[in-house]
Structure 1
Amino acid sequence: MLTSDGDVKNKGQEKAKIKEELHLAWVKSEEMTLINVEQMPPDLFTFKYTEEAMSFSEQWRHCVIYTCGQLAGRAGLKNPYENVKLPVQMTKESVIEELKKMYAFVRKSIEGMSMEKLLSECEFAGDVIPVWRLFYAMENHIIHHRGQCVVYLRLNGVVPKGFYGW
């Protein structure tokens, strides 16, 4: 997307679209995540399929802490969870509240970040990537956990809502 060898005009148009694309991706991510979370009955938020696994609520707690921590540390943002200690097990209402805060943080970060910063590079997973790609890596991490949570729903007799669309 941003590495094409097109003319200057096309590169400028591609750069101008990156914030819009990131914003739309994260809006859709929030929608799909909240659909997933809303489907789990409140009394099953501590469900684990094995003792070693994270509970349903821990999956989402992990996503909140990891996403904000990675974006803050690698993109030079202020981590909203730097001095916050979330409980290991959280209620349905608390999970939803924290997820909404996380998604608001991500959207605000995208909107407030300069193009220079979005195009700058950071280290991640043994590689050097542009910061804009870090946002996609964090969304990919959430997709991974959202998929795990679909299994948690099924193990508890909840038929997950079908394909969400894009």
Structure 2
Amino acid sequence: MKRTRFVQNLLGIGLLSVVGCRMGDDKKETSSNLVHTDTNKTKEIADGLRRELIEAWHQSEKMTMINVQQMPTEYFTYKYTEEAMTFSEQWRHCVIYTCGQLAGRAGIKNPYENIKLPVQMPKEDVITELKNMYAHVRKSIKELSDEKLFSDCDFAGATIPVWRLFYAMENHIIHHRGQCVVYLRLNEVVPKGYYGW
């Protein structure tokens, strides 16, 4: 089910703007105001969002692991120009950035706060760190309070609800996964086709 359709079905078209966007009126109503409405409805919406987010992150992990496992071990230090990140660095960046953004913007504990990952990591370590990151994100989604899930945070020059931050982080991973598909092709590895959703 597409994310927009899910939210429309769950909330009804009339409430979509309350959850996903800032309103244009003087009250500056935000998604965090939803927490102060009907408690049962808020819980239902929060539970639905959690299920959708967890499914999205499960799918993301599946597609990421397919990509990472396809790259031969000897090409994890490959980069197409001197300025580019290596294949390994692309994934290291995803791990550090995702956890750092969730910590800084949503107040979620950063498991890498006191850990410095090596710039170049072997294939096995990249896979381990990616699995750790995905597990951390799913655990955070499950444990986040409804109030925090609907609270607002600043991101990319806008104010968005924390639940949208999780989608923004997944979108960032999609961007780097797309780059890594090119890395595969440049090393004559044919990427697996459309994975389905």
Where on the TM-score scale, by shorter chain, does this alignment land: which range? Answer: over 0.9
1:80 to 111, 123, 126: 111
Describe how 1:15-54 pairs up with structure 2 within 5 A.
Answer: 15-54=46-85
What aligned pairs does 1:104-119 form with structure 2 within 5 A after superposition? Answer: 104-119=135-150
Corresponding residue to 1:5 among 2, 6, 14: 14
Cα distance in 1 between the residues matched to 2:128 and 2:84: 23
Show the counterpart of 2:123.
92
2:170 aligned with 1:161: no
Provide the C-alpha distance between the structure 2 equivalents of 1:102 and 1:40, rounded to a whole number of angstroms. Answer: 20
Distance 1:30 1:52, change over 3 A: same
Q: Which runs of 5+ in 2 are unaligned?
A: 1-6, 16-37
Aligned length: 165
Decide whether the 8 Å contact of 1:4 with 1:11 is kept in 2: no
Report the residue type matching 1:67 in the other structure: T
Measure, in 1, the Cα distance between the counterparts of 2:75 and 2:172: 23
Please say if 1:139 is aligned against 2:163.
Answer: no
Deviations for 1:136-164, whole angstroms, at most 9, x for unmatched residues?
00000000000000000000000000001
Shift of 1:77: 1.0
Separation in structure 2 between the aligned mates of residue 92 and residue 162 of structure 1, nearest angstrom: 22
Structure 2: how far apart are the matches of 1:10 and 1:85? 42
On the 8 A contact 2:46/2:149 being kept in 1, the answer is no
TM-score by length of 1: 0.94
Which has more radius of gyration?
Answer: 2
Letter in 1 for 2:161: P
Counterpart-to-counterpart distance in 2, 1:127 and 1:3: 24
CA–CA distance in structure 2, aligned partners of residues 43 and 3 of structure 1: 51
Measure, in 2, the Cα distance between the counterparts of 1:141 and 1:119.
Answer: 21
**One-letter amino acid of the counterpart of residue 59, structure 1:** Q
1:112-145 deviations in whole A, cap 9, x for unaligned? 0011110000000010000000000000000000
Contact 1:154 1:160 in 2 (8 A): yes
Q: Distance in 2 between matches of 1:140 and 1:42?
A: 26
Look up the SS of the partner of 1:79 in the other structure.
Answer: coil
Give unpaired runs (5+ residues) of structure 1. none
Q: Distance in 2 between matches of 1:114 and 1:12?
A: 10
1:129 and 2:160 are equivalent in the alignment: yes
Displacement of 1:110 after TM fit? 0.2
